[in-house]
Chain A
């Protein structure tokens, strides 16, 4: 094919030249050109290589169905693979190149795969690459396979999102889509119409015609003007509908919305979705139907009318339907001569006889001739349907083929619309069953535009299927070498491959697809699925309806990860919660980590420290002096009302009514299966007022869970729940000097041990602001959790640092907190419990047994599985060798045995004890103290000893001091 620019085209501006580079060579085109049109005009014939056999590929189509001309665009972090040259507008400085060939596009040594193609049929990789192992071949296969390459640097571009609710979404901006949008808008509905192309008009741009007695260009201009003036219609070009999901949610990707975003993802919810997605022309199947120079007929028309390009100097048209004659008429009108038409149907077409065309009726193209470009075709007479022997050649350098139009059913299928095979058009059409989905125009199988428009104007969206006026013929040449008859041009799937799949019993359409990979490539089978199904049906003596289709899933066309991610990357991946003293932590050099939603200090690194040494220093400072920690992330739920005690008594494992005002109690929350899911301290502020603390990760969940119980089950209880987590900042002071430091603040609270014992709460004023102080401890030291309104948190923190400097006050982070609590054997729900841990496993079975009142999970605790003697029980473990390792997650076994009897749940190096320690869940653990066991991790056994989980201060003297 030697394409050339004939003259003007509706898309291009010949006053504006654009310079670009393709495969390192400079070219120029016009503003409005696509890469494909600009290169065609420059005489480029080969645009790429096929996937498996590395055969040369030219431009085959003009839209998203292009299977061969895939290019890599841009360089560096912005490079994008697998861009269709037919959809890529050129711009000044564009860099594009082909991929998947070596050393060059014109000389690709991998073409030897084509020579030995009989050794690599469909599914060959399922039968090879076995000896000696897959890994032996992997490097070579990975470097040979695939199209293009992904960028290796973070994407510098930005991507936006938009959420839209409309009455009507129209998918497709061709004639019927525009008419439908206008009709819907006139009824007062809010309308969004999306067109993937750069202009509205659909097939009218490629094949102008008369509509309602006026040229289609004028009709289109008038329609667009009316849409532009409609305040309730938003019209977007460069916007593809990627998929339709449940409840009429559609995802669209737009490349043209103004702003700094490269692409915009639109989430559209519509009462009604009208699918006017048009139809895609289907190819013919014959020997060497993949040769550059062979193009879909509609693509030839598109390049002519939109870009002023003629595909070749000697053009032959071949097909099985009336579109051949419309195209020939278009070409004649533009001064382009057609050498011949090859029509597989037998009846002559009367309306075009005046064009003086050479028409070979009842004939088929059975092979193309040439090398990397087309030089001719071999045509054979069909004699009453049987293949005759008389054949002849026609010299040509461009072949336009048409196997008829297939409605674009993808979006309808996303919306779960069933399909029915229509013999009259040899394609599937959607069978619309309501649900706010309508399919119109060519997408519904109606190729009569005037009829479609009439129905839309009359408010009848559902259109009857119309047939080709003289029927549609066969798409398949039934002679020649089937291993050279392509069905899927991109993945190199031939008729021979389909036949192989059938012989090997992969004859269901799903198996055929996956075994041959037909339709699984970048074009998703837009020009291959139908032919594959048709051949499958014939070869297995079934109807096409019986064969059916595979499932069409979003996206309709490839969507960049950038568009899907939008701004949800880096800082905006998900909301991040900061502590009230966040800025202070940063100022102190804290190493911040994400713990659930919260960013919290893990440690406060000093110069020359790594995390381990910082943790050791902080832990010793707490044990020997006083530490300060930001505990504001802990959940705080206020429970009030006359029935508050009874309510919490039902929520908690522990006794609640017996708790006196001013006292606290540690509690476990169980689910209905008796499994521990949260723990914390609950405090009684007054007769009808409690403060519940939860783990920071579960604060919202526990609050909602309590509300659900209150509103759905305990509806008669007079209780009010309020989530006060955000309202209070928590400055925790822990260590022997904690009381001394706290005493340096002006307060009406008596901090003495007699007046303020362990597990008590006091409220009052601190430095003139309301304060709640809990004397509790997660560190095992004398500890005070000081709660002030969050707005005062930062100030209190700074004051504490200033006033505690001479006491050796040391900030400590979450990692240090974990070390301190492991030394004390304090539970961390989620680490030391799993989805089966019940209270008796952690030594609280007695509390459950003694509680008479009903509570959540009570009944489940008596189930046989929950009272077995060999349940996993929480114990402490330490390596026999003090210099040994203890790995959290390691399995535990009896010495030298294989069966896992539990696992290490938490592990750390204890600076207090100067050795590794940990907690673990072990079968019957509490009865195995001092037993030597093994840990097993990644093939390594280590000797451990079972200990009490309380490694430090088992009497609790420091807590009660």
Chain B
């Protein structure tokens, strides 16, 4: 019998404008880590175990700071001792790559909450959705959105890029 295979709602989607390109990004697996402000914060133990954390509103090669009590681990693994506050979020999050000289204009048109310094990362309100924006370079952003809204958001980005003639 055939095995099951994966699929994404934005498989095969891409947009090439004059100075902006949109496409799916599949290089990361995501592990969500939640923590509580308890004595001996065990989530911090997990991050210590990995050997990395990220300062507020930043990301590095391993960790994305999403909120005071939440991190996203990029493609890392946690052992069973830390599974109480970690779960595989890969299926639930879809990453859209936004590249090009006009990426900043597209994003700034909608929100002023993004700092385009490479290394910035934050959850924020964008196109009426809660998304996580990661600034890999000034002209290279990732937008992480819940799976169910990925098609809509991709359509929205493409529509907005066309409207602004990007």
> Chain A residues in contact with chain B, CB under 8 A?
158, 160-165, 258-261, 269, 567, 571-572, 574-580, 582-583, 598, 638, 640-641, 688-689, 710, 718-722, 724-729, 745-746, 766-769, 788-792, 794-796, 799
Contacts and interface: CB of A to CB of B under 8 A. Distances in A.
Given A163-B109, A726-B147, A575 B87 contact: no
B148 A769 contact: no
Contact of B148 (A598, A710, A718): A598
B88 A727 contact: yes
B72 to A, nearest CB: 12
Given A165-B112, A574-B128, A688-B84, 14 more contacts: A161-B109, A259-B164, A567-B159, A638-B87, A720-B36, A720-B84, A722-B34, A722-B87, A726-B148, A727-B92, A728-B92, A768-B4, A789-B6, A796-B4
Contact of B165 (A260, A567, A727, A791): A260
Contacts of A258: 165
A908 to B, nearest CB: 28
Nearest to A160: B163
B90 A641 contact: no
Contacts of A796: 4
A708 to B, nearest CB: 13
A725 B32 CA distance: 13
Interface stretch (B52-60, B115-123, B133-141, B149-157): B149-157
A639 to B, nearest CB: 10
A640 B84 contact: yes
Contacts of B92: 724-728, 790
15 contacts: A260-B162, A572-B155, A577-B146, A579-B148, A582-B151, A640-B85, A720-B84, A727-B88, A727-B147, A729-B91, A767-B2, A768-B3, A789-B6, A790-B92, A792-B6
A259 B110 contact: no
B7 interface: yes
Contacts of B87: 638, 722, 724, 727
Interface string B25-47: 00000001011101000010000
A940 B134 CA distance: 61
Contacts of A726: 91-93, 146-148
A718 B38 contact: yes
Nearest to B70: A722
B148 A795 contact: no
B5 A580 contact: no
Nearest to B34: A720
Residue from A261, A580, A688 whose CB has the most chain B CB atoms within 10 Å: A580
Contacts of B163: 158, 160, 259-261, 567
Nearest to A689: B84
Contact of A788 (B4, B93, B127, B155): B4
A87 to B, nearest CB: 25
Residue from A158, A576, A689, A791 whose CB has the most chain B CB atoms within 10 Å: A791
Given A260-B162, A718-B38, A727-B91, A572 B156 contact: yes
A578 B3 CA distance: 24
A746 B148 contact: no
A746 B156 CA distance: 40
Nearest to B32: A722
Nearest to B89: A727
A665 to B, nearest CB: 22
Binding site of A, secondary structure by majority: helix, strand, loop or mixed? mixed
A583 B89 CA distance: 22
Contacts of A572: 155-156, 159
Nearest to A726: B92
A745 B153 CA distance: 34
Nearest to A632: B148
A705 B91 CA distance: 24
Interface in B76-98: 84-85, 87-93
Contacts of A789: 6, 88, 90-91
B104 interface: no
A576 B146 CA distance: 11
B111 interface: yes
A586 to B, nearest CB: 12
A767 B85 contact: no
A326 B150 CA distance: 63
A944 B4 CA distance: 51
B4 A575 contact: no
Nearest to A746: B1
Residue from A575, A728, A768, A792 whose CB has the most chain B CB atoms within 10 Å: A575
Contact of A719 (B32, B36, B151): B36
B148 A577 contact: yes
Given A165-B112, A719-B36, A789-B91, A794 B155 contact: no
A572 B128 CA distance: 10
Given A572-B159, A576-B152, A580-B147, A791 B110 contact: no
Contacts of B4: 766-769, 788, 792, 795-796, 799
A567 B160 contact: yes
B19 interface: no
A725 B129 CA distance: 16
A710 B93 CA distance: 25
A789 B89 CA distance: 9
Nearest to A721: B34
Contacts of B6: 789, 791-792, 795
Contact of A163 (B35, B85, B112): B112
Contacts of B128: 574-575
A642 to B, nearest CB: 9
B17 interface: no
Nearest to A574: B128
Nearest to B35: A720
A163 B108 CA distance: 7
A578 B152 contact: yes
Nearest to B87: A722
Given A163-B109, A598-B148, A726-B146, A720 B85 contact: yes
Given A259-B165, A567-B160, A794-B7, A575 B155 contact: no
B85 A578 contact: no
Residue from A160, A269, A572, A790 whose CB has the most chain B CB atoms within 10 Å: A790
Contacts of B111: 163
Contacts of B164: 160, 259-260
Nearest to A260: B163
Contact of B36 (A259, A260, A718, A727): A718
Given A792-B4, A794-B7, A577 B84 contact: no
Contact of A795 (B7, B36, B146, B165): B7
A711 to B, nearest CB: 8
A234 B8 CA distance: 41
A249 to B, nearest CB: 12
Nearest to B69: A711
A728 B89 CA distance: 9
Contacts of B159: 567, 572
B152 A577 contact: yes
A712 to B, nearest CB: 12
A256 to B, nearest CB: 14
A689 B85 CA distance: 11
Nearest to A766: B4
Contacts of B108: 163
B152 A575 contact: yes
A163 B110 contact: yes
A575 B112 contact: no
A247 to B, nearest CB: 14
A826 to B, nearest CB: 25
A728 B91 contact: yes
B112 A164 contact: yes
Nearest to A788: B4
Contacts of B1: 745-746, 767
* 9 shortest interchain CB distances as A-B pairs: A726-B92, A727-B92, A577-B148, A791-B6, A789-B91, A790-B91, A165-B112, A795-B4, A720-B85
